[in-house]
Amino acid sequence: MTTFVNLSYTTSHPGVARFERAYASAKNIVQRLQQESTYAAALWMFGALSLMASIYDIVDASQEGQELGAWVVLWTAVFVGLAGFGQYSKRQFVAWIKAEREARMWESAMTDYRVMADIRCAQNRSE
């Protein structure tokens, strides 16, 4: 009587798989940093910083009576700049998380036929 033994060994080393994921993630971050929107945000932030520096120079050169108004303008510029950059950073972070989820979903769909069947079934239902 013949018996068959089906052993399931992993075909990839866990450390190599972890390194490949880390490399892909770092490559994705570099690509996202090279987009035009990131350059625009950096230019906007440098503009805000130069505005703050010029207001600080005005504060140092002003007389005693005008110092308070200059400080109010300086801190208003600081908070507006931080709020704008914070909103931009939050939008980019949410977009990055969404793209990462979709990439993981497609990666699992390419390796597991059941996930791909579920995706095709959902596409057929939407049509």
Read off the pLDDT of each residue in 31-35 and give the average, rounded to a whole number.
71
Q: Is 110 helix (H, G, I), strand (E, B) or coil?
A: helix
Report the percent of the chain where pLDDT is more than 70: 89
Confidence band (pLDDT; 50, 70, 90) for 98? Answer: very high
For the stretch 51-74, pLDDT in tens is 778 877 777 777 766 667 777 777
Confidence of residue 33 (pLDDT cuts 50, 70, 90): low
CA dist., res. 76 & res. 59, Å (int): 14
Over the stretch 101-125, which tens digit does the pLDDT of each residue have? 988 888 888 888 888 888 888 888 8
Closest to 84 (Cα-Cα) out of 46, 31, 36: 46
pLDDT in tens, 7-28: 677 777 888 888 888 889 888 8
What is the C-alpha to C-alpha distance for residues 84 and 43, in angstroms, rounded to an integer?
Answer: 13
Burial class (CB in 10 A: 0-12, 13-18, 19+), 48: middle
